[in-house]
A and B are shown apart, each in its own frame.
Chain A
Amino acid sequence: MLYRVAGQFKTSYKADYALFPVRQDAWLLAFILLLAFVVFPMTANEFTFRALLIPVLIYSLAALGLNILTGYAGQLSLGTGAFMGVGAYACYKLVTIFPEMNIVIAIALSGFFSATVGVAFGLPSLRIKGFYLAIATLAAQFFLVWLFQKWAWLYNYNTSGAIQVPNISMFGIPVAGPNAKAITQYYFVLGIVCVVTFFAINITRGRIGRVWKAVRDMDIAAELVGINLMKAKLLAFFVSSYIVGVAGALFVFLWRGAAEAELFDIQLSFRVLFIAIIGGLGSILGNYLGAILIVALPVVLSTVPRLFGLPISSAMVEHLNIMIIGALIITFLIVEPHGLARYWQIIREKLIIWPFPH
């Protein structure tokens, strides 16, 4: 009843291909945006912002970048962490060399650096496929992290070898650095995530997105129908690494506040890949669902024993957490290999025919 699509007639091709062919989808999105922009900020405290809301947004942005590459264009990458690092270090250099630069511009520009690096490491994808390519992206992962450690210019010759986010204000309001308030940072990240998501949705459902899907499903066939594989794959690497780089810059500047090279190690790449896969490859919505699950899970798991007053040491909780996350990943893959986004589709289909199933 709630999701009835009957009666919503499309009278033109354009209307049929609108962003929201079904009115209820638009309402639902409006409701989610209302939650994100009004309800959460009003109810959340400092801990919720820092431990849940901001990381969920940043991780889902990174997963969105990876999903464009892996889910839409079919090129498996294990180097996401390092590309996030490129974005973060580029943003740090931009901000320290040009202190007057607006932070939004710095973050937007730093995406181009990681996009360039991404394209360079994407070149082998023209010859290498599948798992071979995945291991090739590992070369990027390990080489770049090594570079972050050894190239002292990148971290301005700090003795600690880490980058520290300076105080940055925008229109008089501190947005990054130790002075910034969590709620400002949340709105900042939310704004960027919304803009990027809007572009991502439109890229993936347009001509470029269809080209990527064709390449993913069978690249030789795609080539035979006249798709330029080189262009399509490199464009996928470019767009994906751009988004991942922006996510990396946000990761350090709006959340962590400081970063060492080891922060961008392979564990980070895997975490982002988990989010993309558990959320659902080839879906935009999935990234958010996956990020909510992966970010919230450790937080929930570490508070549950405390609630029941179980005498478990924090080290033990840590170990159990890893174990449970591993088991949950396997369970999710077995129950629904197409990810959480698929669940939403199933629910939506059920809602459309409810209460009169065939």
Chain B
Amino acid sequence: MDLLHSILVKPFADMVGAPDFLIQVLWEGTVSGVLYALIALGFVLIYKSSRIFNFAQGIMVVFAALTLVGLHQMGVPALLALPLTLGVMFILAVAIERVVLRPLVNQPDIILFMATIGITLFLIGLGETIFGGENKRMITQELMIPTGNSIFEPFGGFVSIEHKDVTAVVGAVILVVALLAFLNKSKMGRAIRALGDDHQAALSVGISLSTIWVLVWFIAGVIALVTGIVWGARAGVSFALEVIALKALPVLMLGGLESVSGAIVGGLMIGILEKLFEIYWGQPLLGGNTEAWFAYMLALLVLLVRPQGLFGEKIIERV
């Protein structure tokens, strides 16, 4: 009885009892959800256009942030370091396409997946060799990201919202809108989607596979840079980010591998639900740190009901 009470009643009583704390938790969840969604977006883009399950997206986030901070430490002004980092991400995209993807065209999915894990290892080694493995501070002020926080007092309580989190959410929204506009309206964007629908057909109407792949990997690099800045501002730049980036995988499962909107909704859902679960159920009942697995379990349960994820394309199988 006590157990049932502490599972079914007490958490909700706590939520209603301290609405300001609930709002704070929801806000924190939303911010991390936005970050998960951003990483997942990079995955989705690459998966849509090339059916490659890009495991390296997480390390690309770290690598982009490291490059930015590293360049700044070498004396490059922050606002110049930003385009330079974009340049590095472009070179990376070209290199990946030339060296890794082109020779592996038409290989089974799992081989390409393993190749992206190879890329991950390579980038970890490269990043550590060039910039060192220690935790670095994100150049927040230099990039003119506002710091400090606002305090609200709803319901006579206390909610603190950091300005850089607000910047993160706004930045993410702008990025997503721009990306959707690009994918749906521009010629290049339509070519990307065409390639995602049918490689052969797209090739036969004259869409260049290699150009699109470079483009897609570059866009994924840009998304990685934005994610890296935002996340680095919260937690510093280190290779630990890569492990957190794995969270994007359940986000993808939940949203469906092909869906941009699915990635966003899935990211927000997982971000918020895992925070709620951790605070109200995990810490009192299970000893905490449930964030390590909650997202995966949630995604697993959803998949049992909908094998293609919430927004994925319906899987039609033919023999």
Task: Give Cα distance in the complex from A120 to B55, angstroms.
Answer: 26
Q: Decide if B104 is an interface residue (CB 8 Å cutoff).
A: yes
The answer to whether B110 and A277 touch across the interface, beta carbons within 8 angstroms, is yes
- Known contacts A277-B110, A323-B126; is-contact A128 B307 (Cβ 8 Å): yes
The answer to whether B133 and A330 touch across the interface, beta carbons within 8 angstroms, is no
Q: What count of chain A residues pass the 8 Å CB interface test?
A: 48
Partner of A139 from B128, B129, B133, B300 at Cβ < 8 Å: B300
Residues in A with CB closer than 8 Å to B243 are 266
Q: Decide if A2 is an interface residue (CB 8 Å cutoff).
A: no
Fill in one digit per residue for A335-352: 1 if any B CB lies within 8 Å of its CB, else 0: 001000000000000000
Partner of A138 from B111, B120, B250 at Cβ < 8 Å: B250
Residues in A with CB closer than 8 Å to B250 are 135, 138-139
Q: Decide if A127 is an interface residue (CB 8 Å cutoff).
A: yes
Partner of B252 from A135, A221, A270, A323 at Cβ < 8 Å: A135
The answer to whether B290 and A146 touch across the interface, beta carbons within 8 angstroms, is yes
Residues in B with CB closer than 8 Å to A325 are 121, 125
The answer to whether B309 and A132 touch across the interface, beta carbons within 8 angstroms, is yes
The answer to whether A220 and B133 touch across the interface, beta carbons within 8 angstroms, is no
Q: Decide if B94 is an interface residue (CB 8 Å cutoff).
A: no
Residues in A with CB closer than 8 Å to B111 are 277, 333, 337
Task: Contacts A135-B296, A136-B299 known; list 19 others, CB within 8 Å.
Answer: A124-B300, A129-B315, A132-B253, A135-B252, A136-B253, A136-B303, A138-B250, A142-B296, A224-B319, A273-B114, A274-B114, A316-B129, A320-B129, A322-B121, A329-B115, A330-B115, A333-B107, A333-B115, A334-B104
15 A-B residue pairs with Cβ-Cβ distance under 8 Å, sorted by A, are A130-B109, A132-B308, A135-B296, A135-B299, A136-B300, A138-B246, A150-B287, A220-B319, A281-B110, A322-B122, A322-B125, A329-B121, A330-B122, A334-B103, A334-B104
Fill in one digit per residue for B89-127: 1 if any A CB lies within 8 Å of its CB, else 0: 000000000011001100111110111011111111110
Fill in one digit per residue for A219-252: 1 if any B CB lies within 8 Å of its CB, else 0: 0110010000000000000000000000000000
Q: Decide if B78 is an interface residue (CB 8 Å cutoff).
A: no
The answer to whether A326 and B120 touch across the interface, beta carbons within 8 angstroms, is yes
Ranked nearest first, the 8 interchain pairs of A and B with the lowest CB-CB distance are: A323-B125, A326-B121, A326-B122, A139-B296, A322-B125, A329-B118, A142-B293, A330-B118
Residues in B with CB closer than 8 Å to A129 are 307, 315
Partner of B307 from A70, A132, A138, A266 at Cβ < 8 Å: A132
Task: Give Cα distance in the complex from A243 to B145, angstroms.
Answer: 53
**Interface size range on B against A:** 35 or more
Q: Give chain B interface residues in 227-263, CB to chain A under 8 Å.
A: 243, 246, 249-250, 252-253, 257
Q: Decide if A157 is an interface residue (CB 8 Å cutoff).
A: no
Fill in one digit per residue for A294-329: 1 if any B CB lies within 8 Å of its CB, else 0: 000000000000000000000110111111111111
Interface of chain A: mostly helix, strand, loop or mixed: helix
The answer to whether A323 and B129 touch across the interface, beta carbons within 8 angstroms, is yes
The answer to whether A146 and B293 touch across the interface, beta carbons within 8 angstroms, is yes
Q: Decide if A76 is an interface residue (CB 8 Å cutoff).
A: yes
Closest to B296 in A: A139
Closest to B47 in A: A131
The answer to whether B292 and A138 touch across the interface, beta carbons within 8 angstroms, is no
Task: Give Cα distance in the complex from A143 to B121, angstroms.
Answer: 24
Q: Decide if A145 is an interface residue (CB 8 Å cutoff).
A: yes
Q: Give chain A interface residues in 157-199, CB to chain B under 8 Å.
A: none
Closest to A278 in B: B114
Residues in B with CB closer than 8 Å to A124 are 300, 303-304
Q: Which residues of B contact A (CB under 8 A)?
A: 53, 99-100, 103-104, 107-111, 113-115, 117-126, 128-129, 133, 243, 246, 249-250, 252-253, 257, 286-287, 289-290, 292-293, 296-297, 299-300, 303-304, 307-309, 315, 317-319
The answer to whether A131 and B53 touch across the interface, beta carbons within 8 angstroms, is yes
Residues in A with CB closer than 8 Å to B107 are 333, 337
Task: Give Cα distance in the complex from A127 to B53, angstroms.
Answer: 20
Residues in A with CB closer than 8 Å to B53 are 131
Task: Give Cα distance in the complex from A334 to B53, angstroms.
Answer: 17
CB distance from A77 to the nearest CB of B (A): 11
CB distance from A183 to the nearest CB of B (A): 34
Q: Which residues of A contact B (CB under 8 A)?
A: 70, 76, 124, 127-132, 135-136, 138-139, 141-143, 145-146, 149-150, 218, 220-221, 224, 266, 270, 273-274, 277, 281, 315-316, 318-330, 333-334, 337
| Most chain A beta-carbon contacts within 10 A, residue among B290, B303, B309 | B303
Residues in A with CB closer than 8 Å to B297 are 139, 143
Residues in B with CB closer than 8 Å to A220 are 317-319
Closest to A325 in B: B121
Task: Give Cα distance in the complex from A324 to B120, angstroms.
Answer: 12
The answer to whether A138 and B296 touch across the interface, beta carbons within 8 angstroms, is yes
- Known contacts A145-B292, A146-B292; is-contact A330 B300 (Cβ 8 Å): no
Task: Give Cα distance in the complex from A135 to B252, angstroms.
Answer: 9
CB distance from B299 to the nearest CB of A (A): 7
The answer to whether B246 and A266 touch across the interface, beta carbons within 8 angstroms, is yes
The answer to whether A323 and B122 touch across the interface, beta carbons within 8 angstroms, is yes
| Most chain B beta-carbon contacts within 10 A, residue among A70, A221, A315 | A315
CB distance from A215 to the nearest CB of B (A): 13
Partner of B113 from A131, A218, A319 at Cβ < 8 Å: A131
CB distance from B259 to the nearest CB of A (A): 13
Task: Give Cα distance in the complex from A242 to B296, angstroms.
Answer: 23
- Known contacts A138-B249, A319-B129; is-contact A330 B292 (Cβ 8 Å): no
The answer to whether A150 and B121 touch across the interface, beta carbons within 8 angstroms, is no
The answer to whether A135 and B249 touch across the interface, beta carbons within 8 angstroms, is yes
The answer to whether A326 and B307 touch across the interface, beta carbons within 8 angstroms, is no
Closest to B122 in A: A326
Closest to A142 in B: B293
Closest to A70 in B: B110
CB distance from B127 to the nearest CB of A (A): 9
| Most chain A beta-carbon contacts within 10 A, residue among B111, B113, B293, B319 | B293
CB distance from B45 to the nearest CB of A (A): 16
Partner of A322 from B113, B128, B290, B296 at Cβ < 8 Å: B128
Task: Give Cα distance in the complex from A327 to B119, angstroms.
Answer: 7
